A and B are shown apart, each in its own frame.
Chain A
């Protein structure tokens, strides 16, 4: 047994159903779950939760749900769907949450792969999808729905409401006294507790089997690391099928005993956030970004006095906020000014955003811009980053309080061993690593090596303080002809953090230096040009302006300055760049539908430009085929200029 640093007390239950029963005994009347229903927040205490879980479990047992069976759970975040996880696990079954917005055809693969016979779903929408899927998958024998609206006239075999299930459960329980406790007692820590399907951007989705031990270890580590307690509150609004929600809203809630709050509907999350005022919060970068954008827009409409106050105190916040949050020394005047700002600006602002009580906020999943990150930290929101994946229970690295860097994902979390393979890939070992991919021994063998390390597929480096920095997908990482590592995505992300740059494509694999194609952001650069009375007729014209080249050159050189401080990556500084004459477009196959650059295709399509970047030319003529929105094709020709950027010598000055 891999014992994790102090994470396992002597009497800590080692399965989720046993954790639930422990909370029901220790804090029976404390709220476990909350949901806003008919405009009023309704609570379930731990005792009520345990009772309902017991009824649901016994109901499932009466219908023939057996040890090892899989239970599909589909719907928005609802208290009773969270209970369904525990109900399946009480019987030694496996919860299989599925994305609620998938269409029937997409669900069919998972339903078939996981041989789903039982499903607990939210409403008519999901029932319809399952009934459709059942036409090809007759094994789906039992569909249990929570919300009966619109379902009264349905007459499908095996379709019952959750109320009916609980009624069956109560009868079964009365007739089989002791069965529930016996089932819970039979559960083992190494049983698979949940199966989360990976999104499948590469091939078919794979079911990631995680044991009770894996998630409880990950949850305990996180709970101790951030000192979470039963007094904390979390708002659960991200899909239940996503590993992050399972860790925060299920595993950690059951380990620490804190309260999980479910929003009234997907559209009311912002209002609910304000009403609940969670102490612990998770959001992907895009949510933090959209909050800041709407805030900026509203500030522009505010009165002059408010605007000036906001601008002034945000400057104060930028100067002192992060240091105060991290407990670093700050001059007394700074503290006083910040305190005043807190009274007048930051406090009311956080209150409006529903972030007044946040003690810890996490973001992950994509690169977060430094400005965005600094904004939230400067107004006193302890926003941190973490690193993990479905295969590692979303628990590999966490940023410790007071040691926050926007470009790292923190230190290895308690109980996790992280090392970097020779090819730069991040390897992870610990109890939180997946047991296996469901029915895919080939994929399991491929990603877990003999020493027990899980191969993440991400390339990373440790910096001087032992913080892990994820730089790229391992398969994208190349090497310069001089042998140094070259991580195109990492550099492209740095470039894209500038509002003037929309897309960037870097080349350098097996070359002696790095070059870049840049797409300017027409709105941002257009705005910038207008303010300077710079006349332009369209994208091509604007992209070719010398002033724009100077602007982009400035951005590129700032990136170079950052890279110069990053050890081996300092060799990846950009030597030459050009501003592309057309916007990269998924319609022209230059980007994927999820807007990832297709580097190989672009290199081929724009071969003359790439060659010019690696020569002494200062301008190159190019003709390009384009597809218009109506399907016609045409060609655009341009003389593209090539810019040189200044490279800096390698330095060891740490980036702020």
Chain B
């Protein structure tokens, strides 16, 4: 489980992606790559196309042009289910949890793809079903420990504060044991302390499990602190790409963010 964090080869590459909704051009000719074990940020002002980009990567949207190369396999679009089976997990900008279920059950749903037992086995609680449930629970408990959710294990999600819900969402994504994690604004709406906690958890995830992380973020400070490389989008176009320092000094980026000429 613990792989040393050493940035490896390119595992995901998007080339010349363009995405239109009718006449609206959400993304125009975007290309960038993601290397194994790195933390890659996509930043940009409101409406820059960040979430659309993420949705293209895990197959929610099909781009009109361009290709996605994942683990050496080139394709036009990703199937969401296929993306999950290939080890891509994600969290959402607006929390998408089952609010009536407990934290534990929510995280257990993240193990869905790992269940191989047949319907009959599960209904009768025999054979593989039982072994799998125990194994799944073990993985989930490790994640609960990792994200320090022990005290809310049996609490329905609806009763939790926002910052903890975000953490539960991360936990559910981790339960799929992804090789790549897509995080859509994981720190949005949080106070400073919650942000710091979340940063710590993102960095720990990356370090402990070697998970490649692609994250969208609004908060420039957070991004610059934890990312290895940053892509900057503005009005659906890529205007910068590089290390946080390179991006910070890029005149195009400064213009987009500060509106200066």
Contacts and interface: CB of A to CB of B under 8 A. Distances in A.
Interface of A: 37-40, 149-150, 152-153, 264-265, 267-268, 271
B138 interface: yes
A39 B208 contact: no
B4 interface: yes
Contact of A38 (B4, B142, B151): B142
Interface in B148-202: 148, 150-151, 153-154
Given A38-B138, A38-B145, A39-B141, A265 B204 contact: no
B144 interface: yes
B105 interface: no
Nearest to A263: B150
Contacts of A40: 141
B145 A150 contact: no
A37 B138 CA distance: 11
Interface in B1-57: 2, 4-5
A153 B150 contact: no
A265 B142 CA distance: 14
A381 B142 CA distance: 37
A267 B148 CA distance: 10
A150 B204 contact: yes
A268 B204 contact: no
Nearest to B4: A152
B139 to A, nearest CB: 10
Contacts of A264: 150
B211 to A, nearest CB: 15
Nearest to B203: A150
Given A38-B138, A39-B141, A39-B153, A149 B208 contact: yes
Contacts of A37: 145
B70 to A, nearest CB: 28
A215 to B, nearest CB: 32
B133 interface: no
Contacts of B4: 152
Contacts of B228: none
Nearest to B138: A38
Given A38-B138, A152-B4, A265 B207 contact: no
Given A38-B142, A39-B141, A265-B148, 17 more contacts: A37-B145, A39-B137, A39-B153, A149-B204, A149-B208, A150-B207, A152-B2, A152-B207, A152-B208, A153-B5, A264-B150, A265-B150, A265-B151, A267-B151, A268-B151, A271-B151, A271-B154
B207 A38 contact: no
A150 B5 CA distance: 12
Interface residues of B, number: 18
B207 A267 contact: no
A362 to B, nearest CB: 26
B150 A267 contact: yes
Nearest to B141: A38
B99 to A, nearest CB: 21
Nearest to A153: B207
Interface of B: 2, 4-5, 137-138, 141-142, 144-146, 148, 150-151, 153-154, 204, 207-208
Nearest to A264: B150
Contacts of B142: 38
B144 A39 contact: yes
A549 B148 CA distance: 51
- Interface centre among B141, B148, B151, B207, by most chain A C-beta atoms within 10 angstroms, is B151
Nearest to A39: B141
A264 B207 CA distance: 24
Nearest to A265: B150
21 contacts: A37-B145, A38-B138, A38-B142, A38-B144, A39-B144, A39-B150, A39-B153, A149-B146, A149-B208, A150-B204, A150-B207, A150-B208, A152-B2, A152-B4, A152-B207, A152-B208, A153-B5, A153-B207, A264-B150, A265-B151, A268-B150
B193 to A, nearest CB: 16
Among all A-B residue pairs, the 10 with the closest Cβ atoms: A267-B151, A38-B141, A39-B141, A268-B151, A264-B150, A265-B150, A268-B150, A38-B145, A150-B204, A38-B142
Contacts of A268: 150-151
Nearest to A124: B204
Nearest to B153: A39
Contacts of B2: 152
A38 B142 CA distance: 6
Nearest to B151: A267
A152 B210 CA distance: 12
Nearest to A267: B151
B197 to A, nearest CB: 13
A152 B141 CA distance: 21
Contacts of B204: 149-150
Contacts of B145: 37-38
Nearest to A37: B145
A268 B144 CA distance: 13
A153 B208 CA distance: 10
A153 B204 CA distance: 12
A268 B149 CA distance: 10
Nearest to B208: A149
A456 B81 CA distance: 71
A150 B202 CA distance: 12
Contacts of B153: 39
A402 B18 CA distance: 82
B65 to A, nearest CB: 42
A267 B144 CA distance: 13
B40 to A, nearest CB: 20
Contacts of A271: 151, 154
Contacts of B146: 149
Contacts of A149: 146, 204, 208
Contacts of B144: 38-39
Contacts of A150: 204, 207-208
B79 to A, nearest CB: 34
Nearest to B2: A152
B194 to A, nearest CB: 16
A83 B204 CA distance: 29
B145 to A, nearest CB: 6
Contacts of B148: 265
Nearest to A147: B145
Contacts of B5: 153
A40 B153 CA distance: 12
Contacts of B141: 38-40
A265 B207 CA distance: 23
Contacts of B208: 149-150, 152
Nearest to A38: B141
Nearest to B204: A150
Nearest to B137: A39
Nearest to B154: A271
A105 B43 CA distance: 39
A271 B153 CA distance: 10
Contacts of A38: 138, 141-142, 144-145
